Structure 1
Amino acid sequence: MADIMADPAHAWTHRVCTAHAGLLWPGQEHDVRMSSNPTPPRSSATSGGGAPGRQPEVLTRADGGPLRVLVVDDEASLRELLATVLRYEGWRVETAADGHAALKVAKELDPDVVVLDVMMPGIDGFEVLRRLRATHTAPVLFLTARDALEDRVHGLTAGGDDYVTKPFSLEEVVARLRALMRRSGALAQRPDAVLEVGDLTLDEDSHEVRRDGVEIQLTATEFELLRYLMRNPRRVLSKAQILDRVWQYDFGGQANIVELYISYLRRKIDAGREPMIHTLRGAGYVLKPTT
């Protein structure tokens, strides 16, 4: 399983910490690291490929359109951060700052999934859910600072589908939303998720990589680099192409980042075996099955 959380190349933090005043940024006790450029890296999927540093499968509706997500939270900074991250998944995201606005937006949007804060002014998340359930069956992910067991039970028995407490991981929220939408039946049917080149296999759903049946542990960036190579077997890929596809943003002059990660992959994929990853000097890299 690719270790997303351990990947040193991630420019975005994996945790969002909140307080009554909003998000906690660096120097405020909790680590909420951002890249030197606070704008998320672009992606080839709708200008966004999800949580930064990775290129996940872009989920779409059964009709081929983008998934529709409603984010409801009275904290503006958190609401907009979540919306930005989810838009980089390739999804259409609308937001609401309170329960009344949420009900109005839901009527217009007809969302495929809802991210719903519990503690809001006016009507709380539980009441919003009760009213939503009268006309909508979309799965709901509760988002709240309250970690009491009775709150979790209340939310789930009221018709909520999952529950995340603050502080939370952005990647966890995205993963839970993906799981909810897979279970809801709203998604387009996915083609075979397993890539194969010779004796090398990569499962895009489970992130398992094997060569000759032996599992290989990769970081998230290593996984994305290998996936790109495996989607283009026998094709020479330039450094520029790889940088654009795998990283999507400037690494501040680290021109050797591609060579570095190719060397990481070689140690794991080719070590002790006939090599599959080849360098064409002045042209780029190519992945070929062994003969």
Structure 2
Amino acid sequence: MHEDVAVVIEDGEDIRELLAQVLTQGGFAVHTASDGATGVELVREHDPIVVTVDVNMPGIDGFETARQIRSISTAYLVMITARGDEIDTLVGLQTGADDYIVKPFRPRELRARIEAMMRRPRSLASSHPSAAHQQAAVPASASEPVSLATAPVSTAAPGMTTPGSTPWLDEDSDAAPLEHRGLRLEPGARVVELEGAEVELTRSEFDILRMLLGSGRRVVSKLQLAGMLRGERGEPDHYLSEHDARAIEVHVANLRRKLGESPSEPRWIETVRGVGYRRTA
């Protein structure tokens, strides 16, 4: 039987073995490396679906390793680090990482985040030739499903959009393009164009933009955006952690930078203080 492949790039032996164990239990065939250069070669050789990268490594660091991986692979990429500074999160997500976990982390949390990523399309627009991979199936697991839910909390205000009831989460290749002020997003092709020129976005940036453009003028909360990135349907049932909120803010900041938009004079994305974001009028 064919196994999905994962690559673990981590210089700490204990953490490397833990990551390999978690992924193996999740149904992956796991290859490990203790440095970035070796890890990049493993990615090139095995074409994994999931890659975890430690930020602090000898030789080339995790950020450069992630950049090199993203240039040759559409793997789901998780940055793992002992540092929690916002600048590290920013750099990690700018390299094309799909998620960012700070040590110490719970194995169940890592597993839940990876399973959530794998419910989203693997292909990226404006990527390398192998970017036409189809959406990966979540590996079978002998263990019980895991969840990041801690306490059921509803933060939706009147007039807010509910992700499960709207078309932007449906990965339908025939979905109609979304257009707003010279910006065009094609859901099926996962392509974004600004005034006819293609804009290269990460998977998370694309999904956030699609959700905002598809919401009309309704407010989309950070909790809903975080839930969407995890592949959740319906009203999110988990609380918004500080990590989640910061990651959403960084994704939106990166998205604005690539579109050339000023937060103080937004052309496409308005900030609704204390709540989230919405499309401009």
State if a TM-score over 0.5 links the two structures: no
Could you say which structure has the larger radius of gyration?
Answer: 1
Using the size of structure 2 for normalisation, the TM-score is 0.44
Using the size of structure 1 for normalisation, the TM-score is 0.42
More helix by share: 2
Does 1 or 2 have the higher relative contact order (CA < 8 Å, sep 6+)?
1
